[in-house]
Structure 1
Amino acid sequence: MHRLGLIVAIVVVAVDVMYVWYVGFVQGATSDLPWRVPFVASYLAAVAICAMLSATVAAGSLRVVLLGAAAGGLLLLGFFAIFSIGLPLVAAGLLTVVALVRAISGETGGGRAFGASIAGALAAIVVLLAGFAITERIIGCAPRVVSGSGGGGLFSGPYSYTCQDGRANVTYGR
């Protein structure tokens, strides 16, 4: 068993549990983006599973893909969330990079292993960006509440919305 993958999985699960606890029980407020927190929590769980599986599988392409996915996902999400949960995620991502470099250097086909790790990292990054793009468009307005926000739109351009009495008024492109 490879210890670094297991350590990373434990750190990510701890961050995930603390994130859900803090958002759900300490902040306690409802959000206009109701699916953002469940997506991030699920994504962190998937990354933790990748790290844990990388600790249990034998050396080979699958291990390198799993480590690449965990490293790419942790580093990007850690960068996005650097002022909240990001610092431990970046640290776990750097540990994963160390494990990844060790795994690639231990492979006989280093170029193929490197390519497999890049594929894993790109897959994790695409899932993260797609999840953010989708969850920023699912707006849930609470009844008897007035709120509003907007964003740059990751792929589709800027948008803004206002919530009034449970109804969302969305404006795109301004």
Structure 2
Amino acid sequence: MSVWMPPGGGSGSMAPPSQSHLVCGGCRCLLMYPQGASNVRCSRCGHITSAPASAGADSSQIVCNGCRVLLSYPRGAQSVQCSLCHAVTQVPVYGHLVCNGCSIMLMYPVGAQSVKCSVCHYVTPVTAATAAAGGASGSVPAARPKTKQTVVVENPPSYDEKGNEVANIAVGVKADT
């Protein structure tokens, strides 16, 4: 069994030329390894995780809580450690609900008590009924059939060159198939 360990037990700054990443089967930390390795040992918990044949195909991105750089990580990871500042950023879990003001689909971090719509500025409380209306499946209630759905995502803010916080909002349209 070939197991790849990062140089210096994970604290080195050398990076393999072509890397893939996966989530540790033990501590759910992001592990980076050279492509072609069959197994990866986590330097944090020591767990050996089998590397998939085609890693890195299903990834997402998040802003580092430490240095604000954009990080790429595989979907399903619970946290991501920045290779620049070594800060650990928790990956938020999102729910969906329909705005009570303009009826568009809103995305919110699970645990939020209310969601402010960036389109109409209406504040919709997150209750079992509103969360069920948007649902984890993202379906709209049968009373309001639509062929297109607008989704508003409020991403973590970024900062301009003067250090001022800048809102980072994305709007998308999902067509029903």
Question: Which category of TM-score, normalised to the shorter sequence, fits these structures?
Answer: under 0.3
TM-score by length of 1: 0.24
TM-score by length of 2: 0.23
Higher CA-based Rg:
2
Instruction: Answer 1 or 2: which has greater helix percent.
Output: 1
Greater relative CO (CA pairs within 8 A, separation 6+): 1
